[in-house]
Amino acid sequence: MNSRSDKFVNPISLAVISIFVALLFGCVPVSQPEPPQPASVQAIAEGDIENGRKLFMGYAHFENEGPPCMGCHNLGEYGLLGGGALGPDLTNVSSERSDIELASVLSNNRWTKSPVMEPIYNQHPLTEREQADLIAFMKSSAGEPQEDKELLVLGISILATIGAAIAIGFVYRNRLRRIRAAMVKEAEKELL
Ligand code: HEC
């Protein structure tokens, strides 16, 4: 037993184990993104509404490739059919939440967090600049009526279904007649 434990701690294996542990925990370059920082008051004051709009709608890409907000949120009258319905409507969010709270949601770094957004934007953090531009954009729609586009979407869906039924009916309008004609011909053959 003694000789076995002596062997185990021989300097070479110790060195190998140390290197292994060091590689595991310390020296391996980990490609984790920087922890997101909430936008500063100064950055928010300089937020660019137009760039915020592009980021929100997905017309411009986020630096860390996060998904556009429009996928889950509606804001004002933007988007023909509005945004996604998973998240709350953000048209008037800036009258309910302070700039700091908004920056906190966007950075997942303070008290106000969204359990749905946190895992996504922790993987793809929004830069301070992007948060500031998005906050400026969210503030720009304050006081506008919230547009409920769900009825519009429902109406369009119903019309599209009816349209598709008519189109299919038109395309196949001769189909039954052809089958019937074939059956009649078949029956005549048997009779004659
Ligand atoms: C995957 C869907 C999803 C995406 C993408 C998303 N959000 Fe959210 N967001 C939510 C949900 C859901 C909530 C409500 C809190 C919750 O349930 O997590 C929320 C909450 C918020 C809130 C707080 C609203 C309130 O009244 O408290 C803000 C502000 C916000 N999101 C802004 C954004 C912005 C800006 C983006 C784009 C960078 C974005 N969200 C992208 C789903 C999303």
Each residue's pLDDT tens digit, 39-93: 999 999 999 999 999 999 999 999 999 999 999 999 988 876 777 888 999 999 9
Q: Which residue has the tokens 């984790």?
A: 32
Interval between CA 138 and ligand 1 midpoint (Å): 12
Q: Say how far apart CA 45 and CA 132 lie, in whole Å.
A: 8
Nearest CA to ligand 1 atom 2: 72
pLDDT at 51: 98
Q: What is the pLDDT of residue 161?
A: 85
pLDDT of residue 117: 94
Q: In this structure, are 77 and 154 located in the same domain?
A: no
103 touches ligand 1 (CB under 6 Å): no
Number of domains in the chain: 2
54 and 131 share a domain?
yes
89 and 158 inside one domain = no
Residues 44 and 140: their CA atoms lie apart, in Å, by 13
Give the Å distances, CA to CA, from 141 to 4, 52, 67, 87, 117. 74, 12, 21, 17, 21
In this structure, the answer to whether residues 154 and 131 fall within a common structural domain is no
Q: SS in 3 state form for the chain?
A: CHHHHHHHCCHHHHHHHHHHHHHHHHHCCCCCCCCCCCCCHHHHHCCCHHHHHHHHHCCCCCCCCCCCHHHCCCCCCCCCCCCCCCCCCCCCHHHHCCHHHHHHHHHCCCCCCCCCHHHHHHHCCCCHHHHHHHHHHHHHCCCCCCCCCHHHHHHHHHHHHHHHHHHHHHHCCCHHHHHHHHHHHHHHHHHC
Report the nearest-CA residue for atom 38 of ligand 1.
69
**Residue range of the domain that includes 166:** 150-191
Specify whether 136 is located in the same domain as 163: no
Please tell me whether residues 113 and 59 are part of one structural domain: yes
Question: What confidence score (pLDDT) does residue 36 get?
Answer: 74
Distance 88 CA to ligand 1 centre (A): 7
Q: Is residue 5 part of a domain?
A: no
Mutate which of 89, 107, 110, 116 for ligand 1? The one with the most ligand atoms within 8 Å of its CB, which is: 116
Low-confidence ranges of the chain (pLDDT < 70): 1-9, 14, 17-35, 80, 148-150, 153
